[in-house]
Amino acid sequence: MKNLPTISKMDPEDDADPNVCLIQCALFCKGYHAGGITGIYYTNGVNAVKEMQSDGSIEVTGTINWKVWMGLFSLNWF
């Protein structure tokens, strides 16, 4: 998991990123509203990740790092 990309807030005009689509789907499955499956990591997605980080008692940055990847793609309850 530590080798997965770190993803920060994107510009709405950026090209869609398949990794962001995966994150958005995983957020939805975990009960967080990321604003749809667009492939653009923007305001709704950042807010959803911040909420997830807060719920998981990890540093709230809004950045998708290995801890966010692990929390979203683990089958454990987060």
Task: Check residue 77 and give its pLDDT.
Answer: 63
* Statement: residue 1 has pLDDT above 70: no
* Statement: residue 78 has pLDDT above 60: no
- HEC profile of 9-45: CCCCCCCCCHHHHHHHHHHHHCCCCCCCCCCCCCHHH
The pTM of this model reads 0.91
Task: Check residue 2 and give its pLDDT.
Answer: 76
Domain ranges of the chain: 18-73
The model's pLDDT over 11-62, given as tens digits with 9 standing for 90+, comes to 999 999 999 999 999 999 999 999 999 999 999 999 999 999 999 999 999 9
Task: Check residue 3 and give its pLDDT.
Answer: 86
Determine the Cα–Cα distance for residues 28 and 35; give it in Å rounded to an integer.
Answer: 9
User: Which residue matches tokens 């790092």?
Assistant: 65
